[in-house]
Amino acid sequence: MAGKPKALHPLVPLASLSFSTHQIPAHNLIPNTSLAARPLIVYRAPFATTPSAEQIEAHLRAVGVCFPMWRWPMYPEDHFHTTAHEFVVVHRGRGRLNFGGRGCAGAVEVEVVPGDAVLIPGGVSHALLEDLGEKEGLGSFEMVGSYMEGSEHWDMCYGKHGEEEHVANIPNLTWFDKDPLYGEGGPAAKC
C-alpha cells in the first residue's frame, strides 16, 4: 500500500533495554541540561540485531517521532543546538564521544558501537573524541542523525559569547511524548 511505512526493525523488549540517563551541569557558556533538565539518554543495543543505516532510517520514519536527516560522524568540536533535540544511532564503526564539553566536571564520555543510540537534548554539548573503528579496521565511525518534526533546521552553537539569545530558546523546545525508537512507553517519553 502506498504511503505505508516500512516495518519496524526488531527491538529488544523494553523491559530488557539497557539505557542510562544523565543530567550534565552547565560548563562555561555551554548550558548542557541546566536550563530544561531534560536528560541525555544513552541506549545500549536497543535493536535485536544490528541494523544498517537504511534499516535505522526506515525504523525512525515508521515510529514517526524523529526523522533522519543525515549520515555522518559526530563533529570533533564541542557544539550544541538550541533549536532542536538530536537523536543519533550508530550504524558503522566505533567511537568515543563526549557530552558536556571538554573540561566539564560532569561530562559524560561513552564508547558507542553499531546499534547504540543517544538522545541529545538541546543545549547539551557533544563531540567525537576518537574514531576507534578506523583504528581497529571496523570502518569509519558514522551515525544516522535525526530530529523531531518541526525542528529539522538546527543551529550550531559552541559556547561562545554572542550565542546568549539562541541559548534562551532552549527551555521552549518541545520534549518527546513518544520515544524515538519505542514509541509509547520508551525512555524519552518518561522523562
Please give the pLDDT value at position 151. Answer: 76
Q: Is residue 56 part of a domain?
A: yes
Q: Is residue 180 part of a domain?
A: no
Domain CATH code at residue 32: 2.60.120
- pLDDT over threshold 80, residue 101: yes
Print burial letters for 54-74: b (CB count within 10 Å at least 16), e (below 16).
ebbbbbbbebebbbbbeeebb
CB of 186 closer than 8 Å to CB of 178? yes
Please state the rounded mean pLDDT for residues 145-157: 88
Least confident span in 7-11, 12-16, 164-168, 184-188: 7-11
Q: Is residue 17 part of a domain?
A: no
Q: Domain of 78?
A: 28-170
Q: Is residue 14 part of a domain?
A: no
| pLDDT tens, residue by residue, 158-187 | 999 999 999 999 999 999 999 999 999 899
Number of domains the chain is built from: 1
Q: How far apart are CA 14 and CA 3, in angstroms?
A: 28
How does residue 135 score in pLDDT terms, banded at 50, 70 and 90? confident
